[in-house]
Amino acid sequence: MKYSSRFFLYAPLGLFLTLFLGVGVHWWLAASTLSTQLEAMNGRDIAPGVTIRFSSRTISGFPFTLDTEFRNMSFQIDTPHGPAEWRPQEFAMHALTYGRAETIFEAAGRQELRWTRDDGSKRTLVFDVGALHASAIDDHTGLARFDLDLVGFGSKAFTAKRLQFHIRRNLPRASFDLVVSADDVRFSAKDSSNLGNRIVTARFEGVISQAKSFDALRAGAERWTDAVEHWRKADGTLHVDSLWLKWSEMTTGGQGTLSLDNAHCPLGALNFKITGMADFQKRAAEQHLARGPMAGLASALLDRVTAKGDRPVDVVLRFMNGVVTLNSEPADTLAPLY
């Protein structure tokens, strides 16, 4: 066999083996780095006020992905009232060894969410999920986009067919685009509001201004309360482009702008148009819904629509000095965000 013939026979094989070796070394280095990082994070703050814990983890996915499965995983975040903790039964994360800095998260099985209310009482929500998927995309400044999609939520308090949360940094507008939605949410009799025990669908679309206030938070170098305080002092706003809710009995759509006052309570106004009030008025009469100031939003709404019959109703929700009013009627008090 001539030399040239041997070259064309073995050169592709040699090139393939070289590439395979390079990919293998790259994956091994990436897996080793990830393993070291995870061990350093275990039981410690991964960001100010945020702690993760796990009993063990397994890394696989050679040669192009880093697939990490955790056992006995928990996430804890500090709040002004005490720690909040999420414990998923099964948790995994996936990342590419090549390409953009995107991490996929998955959780399944029974979950526990524990938190402390502003009155100091402890609460626990045990729930199951059919599927929980999330993704985080980083750039050179930190987290640039986060998406959460939860299908088949079930608990004693409420169930939901689907829950979604999406937020992304909008560089040209120096803001964040925010979308939250829920489909077929059904509350238990104990946890139902006076507006009904089922939300057929809900969707929120809005824009958070003053995105620069959250730079340190996105980089994992600041507590969320400090970041929100910087945002408040920078006159940050949450502009509600669209808030649409459909109960079994009525539909409401609105928009407006909110911010935070010096006491860290919501400040601003939302304008709504509500239709389909006849069934709500009938049910309120059957349940002898309490009437009068500070008796809740449902009571204030009932006072507003009594003279309207079943015609569409325009209402304004105002948030000021720790009180929410419907048009001019005080309806309820508001707790500080932090």
In tens, the pLDDT along 137-152 reads 998 888 999 999 999 9
Q: Collapsing DSSP states into helix, strand and coil, what is residue 43?
A: coil
Residue percentage of the chain with pLDDT more than 90: 63
Position 16 scores a pLDDT of 59
Position 17 scores a pLDDT of 58
Mean pLDDT on 4-25: 58
Under 8 Å between Cβ of 73 and 110: no
Q: Collapsing DSSP states into helix, strand and coil, what is residue 208?
A: strand
Position 249 scores a pLDDT of 77
Position 20 scores a pLDDT of 56
Q: Which pair of tokens denotes residue 207?
A: 């824009």
Mean pLDDT on 142-166: 96
DSSP 100: S
With CA atoms as reference, report the closest residue to 145 among 84, 181, 104: 104
**Residue 17 host element (H or E):** helix 3-41
Task: Count Cα atoms within 13 angstroms, Cβ side, for 221.
Answer: 7
Inform me whether the pLDDT recorded for 112 exceeds 80. yes
Residue 200 CB burial class (10 angstroms; 0-12, 13-18, ≥19): middle
- Report the greatest alpha carbon distance in the chain: 100
Q: Which pair of tokens denotes residue 197?
A: 């025990």
Mean pLDDT on 175-188: 96
Q: Please state, in angstroms and rounded to a whole number, the distance separating the CA atoms of residues 94 and 67.
A: 5
pLDDT tens column, 285-316: 766 666 666 667 777 777 666 655 567 888 99
pLDDT class of 199 with cuts at 50, 70, 90: very high
Average pLDDT, the chain: 88
Query: What are the residues facing 264 on neighbouring strands?
Result: none
pLDDT class of 97 with cuts at 50, 70, 90: confident
- Other C-beta atoms lying within 10 Å of the C-beta of residue 302: 21
Phi-psi region of 91 (alpha: psi -120 to 50; beta: other; left: phi over 0): beta
pLDDT class of 228 with cuts at 50, 70, 90: very high
User: Lowest mean pLDDT: which of 34-38, 98-102, 131-135, 257-261?
Assistant: 98-102
- Residues whose CB falls within 8 Å of the CB of residue 116, separated by 6 or more in sequence, listed in order: 79, 81, 82, 83, 84, 122, 123
Position 14 scores a pLDDT of 58
Q: Which amino acid is at 35?
A: S
Under 8 Å between Cβ of 218 and 142: yes
Under 8 Å between Cβ of 212 and 227: no
Structural domain spans, the chain: 249-338
Inform me whether the pLDDT recorded for 330 exceeds 60. yes
